[in-house]
Amino acid sequence: MTLEIIARPGKRAYPPRVTAFTQTFWQGLLDGRFMITKCPKCGHMSFPPKRICAECWAPNTDWLAHSGRGILYSQSVVNAAAFYFAAELPFRLGIIDLHDGPRIATRLIGMDEPPPLGCEVELVTLAYEDGPLYAARLPAK
């Protein structure tokens, strides 16, 4: 499944540090793919991506494109944040249990009212002028 790519004006408030290893993740987002790492030895899936398996310590992990769909585990509205994010306040954050994958934290978009816990959500790519980020929303109808 390909993530919808949503163009966003301006630059990211606090751009992530891209390394040679994480470049695969960031390029995947630009292409509409949410990439996680999976251990070829024990099958453990990780996000953020990790070179070494956090479960069995195998020295190499494989990249896996995830569907980007999951269940909302928890959510909150952020009303106070670091200087970098002050212009974006308030915003909603959520904890998502990805289907057949890890639990992640991300911004929730397009939700004026608190979504019900346990609802289905999907990840999207937010394409800013200086690079991508990801967020979750209720599935498009």
- Domains of the chain, earliest start first: 5-137 (2.40.50.840)
- pLDDT tens digits, 23-46: 999 999 999 999 999 999 999 999
| Long-range Cβ contacts of 22-29 (<8 Å, 24+ apart) | 22/48, 22/49, 24/49, 24/63, 25/49, 26/131, 26/132, 28/63, 28/65, 29/3, 29/125, 29/132, 29/133, 29/134
Quote the pLDDT of residue 1: 66
- % the chain with pLDDT above 70: 99
pTM across the whole model: 0.92
Round to whole Å and give the CA distance between 115 and 123: 15
- State yes or no: cis peptide before 90, omega within 30 of 0: yes
What is the percent of the chain with per-residue pLDDT over 90, rounded to a whole number? Answer: 93
pLDDT per residue over 92-102, tens digit each?
A: 999 999 999 89
Mean pLDDT of the chain: 95
